[in-house]
């Protein structure tokens, strides 16, 4: 009798326990009865997550540089006739005053810029603000302010703006001369007007020239994504220091294809300083037309190797004419530095301020000569018609 009672009590206890377990499962893991599997995760310890974040993140570099990168919005009033034929003198004479009035429209464009000091000077590309009637700058903190043009340099595609701010967050300048292919870089700007955006990549090449983008070219090439609207923005290193001004992309589609170009900060600083101090970029000028030598020309002039720049024209009363340079002279050295071609000579002259005395090594009639010349100021390019 006692055994039967114990068995009955044990059965009731087991039944009650199973019922309680069922209720707990129903409350806390209903998916057990809905045919859905339980999802479990294995998470790394917080100490490991912190270490990985520190190793793989460039957030500190972005925090350093981003406040100094601004969005540049421009407006330009464009006057255009409804039909280009109405600009023809014949039609104007034939129709007299019955020609339709020119149409006016407001053209908007966008780009980026970099605040270079706490006085409110902003470095950007010339093509970003060229022809603009109004320029507005949007800061990283949400403020918007009108900007004025201090000066432009179309030959390097650089321009300097000024905003009336005493607390402008300035960027820190890095060293573009020490860049190596493979260095990590970040591009910060305003692509497509979506707002400030950061992309990353590496230095793909340095010293790129002969791209047809500007007269004086010494571009940094990068695969960091650069898109329309990024122009004038910052290319920074992994410490958030400015090493270049994003300028152009090579693209067949209009979007980034991993080939972007930036003006190195070493070049941009010099141009910016001259614009702020003089209102324009000051470059040396020799007053000659030159062309590259090929093996046939070099042999005809009696040169054992191809090198130097051939003088194909001398401007009357220019520095070269005053110094005695002649047609057919081959300039091989400038102040002891080898000249490899026409662009090499132009850079060697332009990198010196007007009034500098230069020594030119010249090959003339199979004789070596040394000619000293005082270079002048390179003429400013004529404004482009908008």
- The full set of domain ranges for the chain reads 63-162, 176-278, 284-377
pLDDT digits (tens, 9 = 90+) for 267-287: 999 999 999 999 999 999 999
Q: Is 90 exceeded by the pLDDT of residue 166? A: no
Burial class (CB in 10 A: 0-12, 13-18, 19+), 315: middle
Q: Is 80 exceeded by the pLDDT of residue 101? A: no
Nearest one of 157, 189, 184, 158 to 65, comparing CA atoms: 189
Q: How many CB atoms lie under 10 A from the CB of residue 198?
A: 20
Nearest one of 66, 74, 64, 193 to 127, comparing CA atoms: 74
Instruction: Quickly name the fold that domain 63-162 has.
Output: Thrombin, subunit H (2.40.10)
Question: Which is it for strands 148-153 and 158-162: parallel, antiparallel or unpaired?
Answer: antiparallel
Instruction: Quickly name the fold that domain 176-278 has.
Output: Thrombin, subunit H (2.40.10)
Q: Which has more confidence, 361 or 24?
A: 361
Q: Supply the pLDDT for residue 349.
A: 93
What sign does the dihedral 337-338-340-342 (CA atoms) show? Answer: positive
Active-site residue 231, yes or no? yes
**pLDDT (mean) for 117-134:** 93
Active-site residue 157, yes or no? yes
Nearest one of 212, 186, 180 to 68, comparing CA atoms: 186
Contact between 140 and 169 (Cβ < 8 Å): yes
Q: Which of 189-198, 248-257, 332-341 has the lowest mean pLDDT?
A: 248-257
In angstroms, how far is CA 386 from the centroid of its own chain? 23
* Percentage of the chain exceeding pLDDT 70: 76
Active-site residue 127, yes or no? yes
Q: Which of 127, 153, 223, 361 is catalytic?
A: 127
In angstroms, how far is CA 66 from the centroid of its own chain? 15
Q: Are 63-162 and 284-377 in the same CATH fold?
A: no
- Residue 52: which pLDDT band, with cuts at 50, 70 and 90? very low
Model confidence pTM above 0.85? no
Q: Supply the pLDDT for residue 278.
A: 92
CA atoms within 13 A on the CB side of 218: 16
173: DSSP letter: B
Q: Which of 112, 130, 157, 176 is catalytic?
A: 157
CATH of domain 284-377: 2.30.42.10
* Neighbouring residues of 97: CB distance < 8 A, sequence distance ≥ 6: none
CA distance 216 to 199: 27
Q: Which of 112, 214, 231, 256 is catalytic?
A: 231
**pLDDT (mean) for 356-376:** 92
**pLDDT (mean) for 151-177:** 93
CA atoms within 13 A on the CB side of 3: 0
Q: Supply the pLDDT for residue 303.
A: 77
């Amino acid at each position: 009798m006692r055994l039967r009672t114990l068995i009955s009590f044990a059965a009731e206890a087991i039944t009650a326990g199973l019922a309680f377990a069922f209720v707990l499962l129903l409350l806390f893991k209903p998916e057990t009865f809905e045919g859905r599997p339980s999802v479990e995760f294995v998470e790394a310890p917080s100490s490991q997550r912190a270490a990985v974040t520190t190793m793989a993140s460039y957030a500190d570099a972005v925090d350093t540089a981003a406040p100094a990168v601004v969005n540049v919005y421009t407006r330009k009033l464009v006057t255009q006739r409804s039909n280009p034929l109405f600009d023809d003198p014949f039609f104007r004479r034939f129709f007299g005053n019955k020609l339709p009035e020119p149409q006016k429209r407001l053209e908007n464009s966008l780009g980026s810029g970099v605040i270079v000091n706490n006085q409110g000077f902003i470095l950007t590309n010339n093509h970003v603000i060229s022809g603009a009637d109004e320029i507005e700058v949007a800061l990283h903190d949400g403020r918007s302010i009108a900007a004025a043009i201090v000066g432009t340099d179309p030959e390097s595609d650089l321009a300097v703006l000024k905003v009336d701010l005493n607390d402008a967050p300035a960027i820190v300048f890095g060293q573009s001369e020490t860049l190596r292919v493979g260095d990590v870089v970040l591009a910060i700007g305003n692509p497509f007007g979506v707002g400030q955006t950061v992309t990353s990549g590496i230095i793909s090449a340095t010293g790129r020239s002969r791209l047809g983008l500007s007269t004086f070219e010494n571009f940094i090439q990068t695969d960091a994504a650069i898109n329309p609207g990024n122009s004038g923005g910052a290319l920074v290193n992994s410490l958030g220091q400015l090493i270049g001004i994003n300028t152009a992309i090579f693209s067949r589609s209009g979007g980034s294809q991993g080939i972007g170009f930036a003006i190195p900060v070493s070049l941009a600083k010099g141009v910016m300083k001259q614009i702020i101090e003089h209102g324009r970029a000051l470059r040396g000028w020799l007053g000659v037309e030159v062309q590259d030598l090929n093996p046939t020309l070099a042999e005809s002039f009696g040169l054992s190797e191809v090198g130097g720049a051939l003088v194909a024209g001398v401007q009357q009363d220019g520095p070269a004419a005053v110094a005695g340079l002649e047609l057919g002279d081959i300039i091989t050295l400038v102040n002891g530095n080898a000249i490899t071609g026409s662009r090499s000579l132009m850079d060697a002259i332009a990198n010196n301020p007007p009034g500098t005395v230069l020594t030119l090594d010249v090959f003339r009639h199979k004789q070596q000569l040394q000619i000293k010349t005082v270079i002048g100021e390179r003429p400013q390019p004529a404004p482009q018609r908008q």
